[in-house]
């Protein structure tokens, strides 16, 4: 046992501690000196990077709070009715004037036939009233001309009779004067004959003159009586002619009545034509057409559905009439003006860059148009940087650009431009 132990001790080398070698230890570098070397380098790099960024972005204002906008046209029927056909599907491009939906037009076509029949009836009534007016005017004109001719003739007869009456009265006066002269001469000669101063022959001559003057006086008086009777007859004829003229003039009332009937028939004709136009429009409204070019969106109409003008059937989104509304912070818009150049990128197209220009700035911040605008006079004031909407128009043709309203965009405005 002791022998084995002794052998093991021989095999195992003895381990004795050795004295450490004298090593010349160098002192470690302090951390503060290393920081003093690195910190200036970092500051220099930061200053250079900041200066470069400031130089590159000087006069440029950027924001990612921007969206593509466009006009959305809601399509609604002009009349109520039941949908017979839906001719478009979701997201289908259409052109202005294309038929989108057709409504059942059976009852409207029947109303259109009634309106056309009413127009024909009104046209016939108008033509009849015109013919009646023409006939009344013809008869009234003929009677009036005849009555006026009779009045003129009677007036002329009265004038002639009055002239003849004046002449007859003059003849009577002249015959009376001659009779008085012949009577005086006859009496004087008769006296002289009694005294024997004249012969019987002289007396007979004066007697013959006296008889002739008396006969002439009787003739003149008879002619005066006849002329006076003629004047009275002419006056009666004038009164009769005037009565006929008055009767003819009363026909003018009939003419006015016929003219009124023509106007009434014309008004009924126009009313029937207006009703026909409305019926035609109602039939045309059964075809709901696209008001603009665009893509069908938000379609809610189906065949058999009863629709009315209060509910839109679908929406049309134009693809070539789009713009961008960028909401800049209020401290970014101080130098912005309409016409300044803009660079845009749309998230949907990666790095594709669009060119545009500033069209206009909104008249107020977006918060002023909120449902509950902020009231900073309440006492609890927290300053919040406001956003000003800026409308930006694209430059160039956008027909195949594929822009859709609602897409997010990043906008950079060159405020150094004009």
Cα 286 to Cα 87: distance, rounded to the nearest angstrom: 13
**Does residue 113 form part of some domain?**
yes
Cα 275 to Cα 399: distance, rounded to the nearest angstrom: 44
What pLDDT score does 16 carry? 45
User: Which tokens in the block code for residue 294?
Assistant: 């665009």
Q: How many domains does the chain have?
A: 2
**Does residue 186 form part of some domain?**
yes
What pLDDT score does 165 carry? 65
Same domain, 199 and 129: yes
Q: What is the pLDDT along the chain (418 residues), one digit of tens a residue?
A: 334 444 434 444 444 444 444 444 445 545 566 666 677 777 777 877 776 665 555 678 999 999 999 999 999 999 999 999 999 999 999 999 999 999 999 999 999 999 999 999 999 999 999 998 888 777 676 666 666 666 666 666 566 666 666 777 777 787 777 777 777 777 777 777 777 767 777 777 777 877 787 787 777 777 777 776 666 655 555 566 666 656 555 667 777 888 899 999 999 999 999 999 999 999 999 999 999 999 999 999 999 999 999 999 999 998 888 999 999 999 999 899 999 999 999 988 877 889 999 999 999 988 888 888 877 776 777 788 899 999 999 998 776 778 889 999 999 999 886 6
**Does residue 414 form part of some domain?**
yes
Q: What is the DSSP string of 139-202?
A: HHHHHHHHHHHHHHHHHHHHHHHHHHHHHHHHHHHHHHHHHHHHHHHHHHHHHHHHHTSS-HHH
**Does residue 46 form part of some domain?**
no
Same domain, 117 and 65: no
Same domain, 259 and 398: no
Cα 176 to Cα 174: distance, rounded to the nearest angstrom: 5
List all residues 6 or more positions away from 63 whose beta carbon is below 8 Å from its beta carbon.
326, 327, 328, 329, 332, 410, 411
Same domain, 193 and 335: no
Cα 137 to Cα 131: distance, rounded to the nearest angstrom: 10
Dihedral sign from CA coordinates of 72, 78, 80, 81:
negative
In this prediction the pTM is 0.57
Nearest C-alpha neighbor of 386 from the set 131, 162, 65: 65
**Does residue 255 form part of some domain?**
yes
Cα 20 to Cα 305: distance, rounded to the nearest angstrom: 103
Same domain, 305 and 256: no
Same domain, 251 and 172: yes
Nearest C-alpha neighbor of 88 from the set 283, 292, 316, 311: 316
Nearest C-alpha neighbor of 405 from the set 283, 338, 319: 319
What pLDDT score does 92 carry? 94
Same domain, 339 and 403: yes
CATH of the domain at 64: 2.40.30.170
Same domain, 89 and 220: no
CB-based contact 414:358 (threshold 8 Å) = no
Q: Which domain holds residue 246?
A: 108-275
Same domain, 212 and 344: no
Same domain, 113 and 247: yes
**Does residue 266 form part of some domain?**
yes
**Does residue 6 form part of some domain?**
no
CATH of the domain at 142: 1.10.287.620
**Does residue 40 form part of some domain?**
no
Distance separating the N- and C-terminal Cα atoms of the chain: 110
Same domain, 205 and 159: yes
Cα 173 to Cα 179: distance, rounded to the nearest angstrom: 10
Same domain, 333 and 414: yes
């Amino acid at each position: 046992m002791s022998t084995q132990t002794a052998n093991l001790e021989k095999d195992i080398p003895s381990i004795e501690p050795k004295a450490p070698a004298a090593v010349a230890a160098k002192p470690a570098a302090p951390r503060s000196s290393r920081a003093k070397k690195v910190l200036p380098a970092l500051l220099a790099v930061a200053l250079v990077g900041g200066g470069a960024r400031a130089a590159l972005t000087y006069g440029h204002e950027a924001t990612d709070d921007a969206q593509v906008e466009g006009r959305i046209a809601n399509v609604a029927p002009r009349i109520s009715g039941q949908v017979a056909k839906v001719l478009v599907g979701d997201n289908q491009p259409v052109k202005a004037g294309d038929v989108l939906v057709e409504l059942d037009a059976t009852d409207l076509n029947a109303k259109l036939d009634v309106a056309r029949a009413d127009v024909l009836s009104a046209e016939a009534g108008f033509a009849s009233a015109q013919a009646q007016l023409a006939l009344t005017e013809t008869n009234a004109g003929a009677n009036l001309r005849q009555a006026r001719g009779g009045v003129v003739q009677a007036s002329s007869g009265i004038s002639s009779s009055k002239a003849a009456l004046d002449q007859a009265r003059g003849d009577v006066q002249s015959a009376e004067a001659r009779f008085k002269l012949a009577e005086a001469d006859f009496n004087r000669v008769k006296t002289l004959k009694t005294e024997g101063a004249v012969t019987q022959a002289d007396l007979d001559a004066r007697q013959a003159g006296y008889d002739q003057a008396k006969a002439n006086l009787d003739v003149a008086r008879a002619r005066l009586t006849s002329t006076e009777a003629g004047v009275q007859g002419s006056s009666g004829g004038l009164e009769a002619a005037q009565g006929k003229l008055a009767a003819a003039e009363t026909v003018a009332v009939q003419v006015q009545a016929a003219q009124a009937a023509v106007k009434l028939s014309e008004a009924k004709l126009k009313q029937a034509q207006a009703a026909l136009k409305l019926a035609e429009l109602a039939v045309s409204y059964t075809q709901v057409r696209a008001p603009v070019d665009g893509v069908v969106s938000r379609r809610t109409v189906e065949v058999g559905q009863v629709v009315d003008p209060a509910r839109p059937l679908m929406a049309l989104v134009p693809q070539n009439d789009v713009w961008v509304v960028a909401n800049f912070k209020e401290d970014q818009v101080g130098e912005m003006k309409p016409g300044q150049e803009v660079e845009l990128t749309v998230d949907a197209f990666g790095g594709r860059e669009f060119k545009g220009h500033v069209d206009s700035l909104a008249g107020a911040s977006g918060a002023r148009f909120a449902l509950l605008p902020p009231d900073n006079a309440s006492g609890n004031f927290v300053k919040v940087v406001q956003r000003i909407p800026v409308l930006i128009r694209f430059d160039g043709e956008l027909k195949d650009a594929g822009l859709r309203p609602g897409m997010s965009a990043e906008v950079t405005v060159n405020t150094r431009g004009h």
